[in-house]
Structure 1
Amino acid sequence: MICAKYVQVSVLEKWTELRTAYHVARLGTVSAAADYLGLHRATVNRHIDALEDEIGSKIFIRHARGYALTEVGQDVLRVAQKAEEMIEDLAGRVQGGSAQIEGEIKLSLLAPFAGLLMGAIDVFRRENPQCVVRVDVSEDLARLEYGEAHIALRAGAKPDHPDYVVTHFGDIGFNLYAHDSYVARQGIPDARDGFSGHEFVLPEFPRDRLPLFGSWLKDNIRPEMVALSSRDIGIVGEAICAGLGIGLMGDTEAQRRGSLRPVLPANADWKVTGWLVTHIDLHRTEKVQAMLSCIKAHGVA
């Protein structure tokens, strides 16, 4: 993999060529990039050749349908993308800060927390209709230094990467919930009798991905009590709300959906701490600050 420090130096020395290569990668063809940049195709090709000569490695693999990035090219273009965003943000501020936020903003989060951000995203979109919000649901923390996300929402231990800006999002409680339709059919669940006669819908995550609840689920829920399981947390949520069984859900999400009853007493041990994570280079950009403001205004209900 190419040295990150060398890539950053190249950004400074070969910005014109890097910007051209970035738009070739983004648009997929030399012709599309040339039209977007207002350049001749031959100029675009010269920029790519000059950049590859400077780096000493191929950035693109050329094929019949266009250009595909090599592994080195992916590293180079991530840096170029971040640099372009910072330059565009600076230009907007120089023009007086009244220009509409455009382009896209990428969020990375864990699926159970998606509902916590929808209100904030709705406000952000109404205030910035020219900016597209892209959400990546992943169990792994996005590499913000490579531009994989502008903002990440993570839970558990506070991320300690030296280039990350980390702020407290809120404490997110969980419980077992049963829908009113399930209670009408099966009665009020009671943990004291071992949930006799009751059914559950559960996520299929490995136990180490559910450190707060995994041991409890293992000790209390027998395999024959599971009516449905899925790796898709959205499916699990829909099954709970359809009355298929009792399931694990965040308190805020359960309140948002309605018609759900908590089964167990509130448990401080079933709370996780949420963190908003940004990269220091993009933290102060206008679009990131605008989204953070919307998120913090909503918080955890």
Structure 2
Amino acid sequence: MDHWDEIRTAYHVARAGTVSGAADSLGIHHATVIRHVDSLEARMGVKLFQRHARGYTPTEAGADLARIASTTEEQFAQLGTRLKGQGEDVSGEVVITALASFSPRLTPVLAAFQHAHPNTLIRLRTGLRLFRLEYGEAHVAIRAGQAPQEPDNVAQRFLSMDLSLHVSPDYVARYGLPTEGTLDQHRFIGGDDIHSRAPFARWMAKSIPDDNVTFRVTDDMSMQQALLSGAGVGFAVRGEHPDLIEIMPPQPEWRSDFWLVTHVDLHRTAKVQAVLSWLKDAAKTWADTDPAVSLPD
């Protein structure tokens, strides 16, 4: 790391493919870029780039260096998020991650939080990827499923949601109304990951023939859209989509648990505690008004 500037320069040359592109990205003179690369190659005793008229192409060693440097630069950038979260006031960037299907419920709550704390910048990151709290990718993660096990994270049970099995009127018009006794005669919507640990996915894997799962998706929002579009039988939070037809009521093994997860280094900061308190208050309101939502005992 004594020579991080040179390594970082080489990484940007590999990414841009030219000295001028790296210079523009880093805001330095192109002669400095050449000097850094030449010095690094001499020090390491290995050729990092093939020079040609159109630019620089990484050698195998250069590509290895670029991969490592990319990760290191990303971690340095994410460190800033963690450091910014350690103040005693509720201001600056607040990063929350959740499933995309949870955002319609979550977004109004975060907007109200920002109205109460106008000096904050809210980032809501959605998707199936588990954002790494230890690298500062998020201040608070809302995760579904089993209790998170990462040793440096603090996990608190947030709420549970009851899922039931539904079809859309369009599906019924084409294929008829499924019943509990005829499920093996109908089309289903499932995840693309056949090894998913989601409770409803485990039930489907053991209860529904694989050939019946004719529409597979990679994320939870697409799963909801496929269900609403009549692609097949699928799961949804009970009562969330009034136009859907419920064909099986919630089962205990389908219940989805949600957790509030924070990193131990940031858990006690004013900013994180304020967000957690706001989210817990919102969960109480949901539980009072939505029979599909329940709070931990």
TM-score range, shorter chain: 0.5 to 0.7
Q: Which residue of 2 aligns with 1:116?
A: 102
- Residues of 2 paired with 1:298 and 1:243: CA distance? 32
- Residues of 2 paired with 1:292 and 1:26: CA distance? 39
| Residues 147-191 of structure 1: per-residue CA shift (max 9 Å, x gap) | 8x5476543333333344545443343221122444577776432
Q: Compute the displacement of 1:265 (Å).
A: 2.5
- Residues of 2 paired with 1:106 and 1:21: CA distance? 33
- Residues of 1 paired with 2:267 and 2:46: CA distance? 31
Distance 1:59 1:130, change over 3 A: farther
Q: Is the 8 A contact 1:59 1:70 kept in 2?
A: no
Q: Which residue of 2 aligns with 1:247?
A: 234
| Residues 75-99 of structure 1: per-residue CA shift (max 9 Å, x gap) | 33323332234358758999x9899
Distance 1:206 1:119, change over 3 A: closer
Distance 1:218 1:21, change over 3 A: closer
- Residues of 1 paired with 2:248 and 2:266: CA distance? 42
Distance 1:281 1:34, change over 3 A: farther
Q: Compute the displacement of 1:28 (Å).
A: 6.2
Letter matched to residue 237 of structure 1: Q
- Residues of 1 paired with 2:271 and 2:46: CA distance? 32
Q: Which of 39, 43, 63 is residue 28 of structure 2 equivalent to?
A: 39
TM-score (norm 1): 0.59
- Kindly report which structure 2 residues correspond to 1:9-24, keeping only aligned pairs within 5 A, or say none: 10=1, 13-14=2-3, 16-17=5-6, 20=9
Q: Which residue of 1 aligns with 2:291?
A: none
Q: Which residue of 2 aligns with 1:79?
A: 72
The answer for unaligned runs of 5 or more in structure 1 is 1-9
Q: Is the 8 A contact 1:59 1:73 kept in 2?
A: no
Q: Which of 246, 249, 268 is residue 252 of structure 2 equivalent to?
A: 268
TM-score (norm 2): 0.60
- Residues of 2 paired with 1:284 and 1:42: CA distance? 47
- Identical aligned pairs, as a percentage? 30
Q: Compute the displacement of 1:115 (Å).
A: 1.3
Task: Kindly indicate whether residue 186 of structure 2 is the aligned counterpart of residue 202 of structure 1.
Answer: no
Letter matched to residue 82 of structure 1: Q
Distance 1:88 1:175, change over 3 A: closer
Q: Compute the displacement of 1:242 (Å).
A: 2.2
- Residues of 2 paired with 1:287 and 1:165: CA distance? 15
* Cα-Cα RMSD: 5.2
- Residues of 1 paired with 2:77 and 2:9: CA distance? 11
Q: Is the 8 A contact 2:159 2:257 kept in 1?
A: yes
- Kindly report which structure 2 residues correspond to 1:1-301, keeping only aligned pairs within 5 A, or say none: 10=1, 13-14=2-3, 16-17=5-6, 20=9, 29-48=18-37, 56=44, 64=54, 70-87=63-80, 113-118=99-104, 120=106, 123=110, 135=126, 137-138=128-129, 141=130, 149-150=137-138, 154-182=143-171, 189-191=178-180, 194-195=181-182, 199-203=186-190, 205=192, 208-210=195-197, 212-213=199-200, 216-217=203-204, 220-222=207-209, 226=212, 228-233=214-219, 235-251=222-238, 255=240, 257-277=241-261, 301=286
The answer for unaligned runs of 5 or more in structure 2 is 287-297
Distance 1:163 1:217, change over 3 A: closer
